Chain A
């Protein structure tokens, strides 16, 4: 059996999958997670696109992945310091543990864009402007209500909140929000069958497996309405209705609409934890502030630091399928590295 101690930083989808794969290959793995629970964002999501399965099915799989004798889970822990010499990392945690590792995998994931930064959309200012994450929490609780307890009948979904937006400092596409919008729009109709749902988009980016089919289904079976144009501003009427200003770019004229609720599709950003890891390990980041992989095509798990590998959405926005694949590839890279180092 191959020997090797590996520290995996981040206990989300990528970190759990890497840890599971490495443990099954005979490595001794320490999985470090800043929160008290593993599973990352998926743990807080209700249903997943494109097939709207319960997220618990995925977190159950991940829980089984890390249920292995070779894995030590350190939850509620962060990394404070690191030294590298003679091909060994010495990693100190904030609770005083010192770990020795032959390789490190950074899987610090992403943070959701804080929608209050797009002040013009009124998140945190108007009562019934919520985010995609807030809506998932409502789905989980089983009731979609305005703050006054009434059921919304006209709901707007705003795409690209904090994505493709130089003013927000993020010029990249977060890739998952379009399909999340379509999924949530259909789920809103399932909860409130006579609701009218309007998606405001710049482009519909339906590049993933079954995305376009889901988009079509949302039009055909759920009657979701799509309006092409970036919402410039959200206001509130005297009777607490929300009012959007947008250009309907397909008509070529401005459009005004009152809504009962607005859902903002928050984009993905480099996580705060990732920024800290970049400082501690001296990792390079790209223009999008995510970690810069050694090679865009054939080295997406390698970093600029020897024996340090990257996994998952700390390198770019990724869906769960891609994250798990990327994590498995990272595990393969680590195993190859440790084999070579043995000789």
Chain B
């Protein structure tokens, strides 16, 4: 049957209070340098993967902190763990460990209700 009529559009707004930030909290607890990011984008600019495919660690990082984890979950596997992002980070964030921890967090069912 043809679908017609009204539909609900998902709002674009980040609903900060309702979003589940447990993955970010898990990373915070295990890698405190996660807090130090100033969103400069150095990691994304040097990223081996990001030079060929749409992948930005900076973007994934802020999405984690806002609890917008779906996109992170879909993209985190694109990282090849070359570690160049750790080399360029001006704040000394252990970026590689953050990726590892994010991957681990996504495997813990009670951490994310996505």
Contacts and interface: CB of A to CB of B under 8 A. Distances in A.
Contact of B38 (A204, A251, A256): A204
A248 B68 CA distance: 12
B66 interface: yes
A284 interface: no
Interface stretch (A3-11, A64-72, A217-225): A217-225
A254 interface: yes
Interface residues of B, number: 20
29 contacts: A204-B38, A216-B91, A219-B35, A219-B36, A220-B36, A223-B35, A228-B39, A248-B14, A248-B66, A250-B39, A250-B58, A251-B14, A251-B59, A251-B62, A253-B12, A253-B14, A254-B13, A255-B13, A255-B14, A255-B16, A255-B66, A256-B13, A256-B14, A256-B15, A256-B16, A256-B17, A257-B16, A257-B17, A258-B17
User: 10 tightest A-B contacts by CB?
Assistant: A255-B14, A257-B16, A254-B13, A219-B35, A250-B62, A250-B39, A256-B13, A258-B17, A253-B12, A219-B36
Q: Which of B12, B32, B66, B91 is the most central at the interface, judged by chain A CB atoms within 10 Å of its CB?
A: B66
Interface residues of A, number: 17
Interface in A210-251: 216, 219-220, 223, 225-226, 228, 248, 250-251
Nearest to B35: A219
A257 B17 CA distance: 6
Contacts of B17: 256-258
Given A220-B32, A223-B28, A251-B14, 11 more contacts: A216-B36, A216-B91, A220-B35, A248-B66, A251-B59, A251-B62, A253-B13, A253-B14, A256-B14, A256-B15, A258-B17
Contacts of B63: 251
Nearest to B41: A250
Q: Could you tell me the dominant secondary structure of chain A's interface residues? A: strand
Interface of B: 12-17, 28, 32, 35-36, 38-39, 58-59, 62-63, 65-66, 68, 91
Nearest to A224: B35
Contacts of A253: 12-14
Contacts of A258: 17
B14 A254 contact: yes
Contacts of A251: 14, 59, 62-63, 66, 68
A294 B2 CA distance: 77
A219 B33 CA distance: 9
Contact of B65 (A220, A225, A254, A256): A225
Nearest to B62: A250
A243 to B, nearest CB: 9
A296 B15 CA distance: 47
B12 A254 contact: yes
